Structure formats: structure tokens, C-alpha cells
Structure 1
Amino acid sequence: MTTATKPDTLQNVRRLSTVLYWGCALAIIFQFLVVPIIWYVPGWIETSSSQMTVSIADLHALSGWQKYATMLVMMIPSLIMAYGLNHLRKMFRAFSRDIIFQPAPIRHLKVFGVALLVQTLAKPLTGAVTSVLATFHRPAGERMLSIGLGNAEASTLFLGALIIVIAWVLGEAARIDDENRSFV
């Protein structure tokens, strides 16, 4: 393959980054909608209810302050992820504009990794609070505190840590490259 027929890698990065920029926007919207969908679209979550610490029936039985407090607590991991996705979106926007090995996109990647870690750690805690709020109205002996942990959380913790380390390495590489350019 001659150099004239080789794909322009930076052009591919720009194109894919633009698509991912808009994909992150959709993911952010979904993060804001997922909890209301659980509450107001019956049968939507039946397939993944194993990830929840309380049953859908218990959630739908709530009313008044318990319903809104539970919804708010359930939203915490989604809001953390939306924050992280917004930074990932900013990173992709920078990439689409050929701003790659600069401090800003590297910082956005690091913030996304931190958000991923925090969200993963928050999920079991908010799940426990959700189980308490959802069963608070029950008589003594029928209330529960439930914490859900699984392989997905462990994998996501490692993924978040990996993203943070990669961001640190990229930041150091960019710093060294900048330092080397100043000597020339």
C-alpha cells in the first residue's frame, strides 16, 4: 500500500470522535431518564432486575416522600455517570478538533475514569439506601437492608483504574514531549 492510499489516521480519529461525542450526549440523556423509566414504564426492567436490591413491585408500592426520596437516591449513580460522560464527551470534542496530546483532553479522560470509579463504589451504597427506603413502610421484621455486589462492579473498578492510569501516562508523555520540543 502506498502512502497515497493509506487511510488518514487523524481523519479517522476525527470522524469517530465526532460520532462518539454525539453518542455520549445520548448516553447522558439516558442516564437522566433511566430511573424515571424504571418507575413509569412497567415491564421495562424485568430482564435486569437482578441488579437491583429491591423488587420493582416494592418500588411501585411507594408513595409520598418515600417514592421521591427513593428516586433521588437511585439517581445518584446515574448523575455521577452523566458527569463522567460529559467529560468524556469534551475529550471526544477535542479529538474531533485535532486537540489530542494536550492537557485538557487528558484531564477529561482522567475525570471520566474517576467518575467511573466513584459511580461503581456509589452503586452498592445507594442500593442499600434504596432497600431501606423501599421497605421503610413495612412493619418491624419485614424491613431490609440489601447490598448488591457482582463481577460487573469489580470489572468496572478495574476499568476505571485503568483509564486513570492511562490518563496519567498520556499526561506524562505529553509533558515530556513538550519539554523535548523546548530544547530544540
Structure 2
Amino acid sequence: MPTPSTSNTFKRVRMVSTLLHWTCAVAILFQVCVVPLIWYAPGWAEVSTSQMTVSLAELHALSGWQKYVTMVVMMIPSLVMAYGLYRLRKMFVAFACDVIFNPEPILHLKAFGIALLAQTLIKPMTGALTSVLATFHRPEGERVLSIGLSNAEASTLFLGGLIIVIAWVLGEAVRIDTENRSFV
């Protein structure tokens, strides 16, 4: 029986995992930088802000405490996703090092699924809070509370749930395999 280090499948797993490890690093950097880029590089994000609950013009008009609090609120989903991608990256590092049928990478996969689910649930709330903060300076009657939901959020909720369940099943399989090996 081939060992994980000699199998062609495992060689491909190591190669693709290494590639995805670095792809996750780029994605983490993007998650951390996207909100500041929206604020400090006008025109950069016109297309990517279609899901925002307020316009870029309203965001750029903010100043003082409103600007910074709104920026922090907008960063919350990105930071949750960056954490999830960090855990996914750790999973790919484990796979690249032939640590595959082990609880460690499965826990990283589960943490990614939880982060994906959390980010999806947090995003509409932070969008609503962003709309309130961005229109807080307006006179009464012109303030806005806007919540944006899309089909993408529903799909992402199911994907996050699926990843969590798969991680549970894999964790149970590893536990049973470890238990069976202890009897032999």
C-alpha cells in the first residue's frame, strides 16, 4: 500500500495545497485592505460596492468620528473572513506537509466554515449599522436604516453549514480510525 508521501494523489494534494496556501495569503491581504481602499482610493471600488447599503459618495462625505467608526464597522465582516482564510491557510499548510488524516486540519476546516457562516450573518447587520452611521448627520426624517440581502448570502450560509458538517464527519472518521488503530 503506498504511503501518503509516495502516492501521486498525495503529491497533487501537496502541490495544490501549497498553491492554495499562498492564494489564501493574498485573499487575507485583500480582506484586510479592501475597506481602506474604498475610503482612500476613490474610484477603485465602484463595481465591488454594489452590495453596499449606502453610496460611496455618502461614505466619502463623512468626517471625524463618523468616518472612523463607520470604517471599523465596515471592516468587521472582512476581518472575520480574514480569520477564516487564515485557518483555511493553516489547513492547506498541514495538507502540504502530509498531515491529512489528522484532527488538526479538520479543526481548521471547521473554523473556516464557522467564520464563513459568521461573516455571512454579520454582513447584513454591519451594512445596516453603516447606513445608520453614514446618515446620522442628516436631519430627522432623512436618516436611513438599510439592510441589503442577496442570493449570494443565502448560498454562502448553506456553504458554511456544509463545510461545518463535513468537518464534523471527517473529525468523527479520524476519531474512529484512530480508535481502530489502537486495537491492532
**Equivalent in the alignment of 1:126:** 126
Query: Within 2, Cα distance between the matches of 1:18 and 1:48?
Result: 28
Query: 1:18-167 alignment to 2 at 5 Å?
Result: 18-167=18-167
Q: Which amino acid aligns with 2:74?
A: M
Distance 1:77 1:65 in 2: 20
Residues 152-178 of structure 1, C-alpha deviations (whole Å, 9 max, x = no match): 000000000000000001001111111
Q: CA deviation at 1:42?
A: 1.5
CA distance in 2 between partners of 1:90 and 1:47 (Å)? 31
Q: Which residues of structure 2 form unaligned runs of 5+?
A: 1-6
What TM-score, normalized by structure 2, do the two folds share? 0.95
Indicate the RMSD between aligned Cα atoms, in angstroms. Answer: 0.9
Secondary structure (helix, strand or coil) at the match of 2:48 reads helix
Identity among equivalent positions (%) equals 75
| Deviation readout 1:57-107 (Å, 9 max, x if unpaired) | 000000000000000000000000011111000000000000001111000
Q: Aligned partner of 2:157: which letter?
A: L
- The unaligned stretches of length 5 or more in structure 1 are 1-6
Q: For the residues of structure 2 that align with 1:49 and 1:76, how far apart are their CA atoms?
A: 16
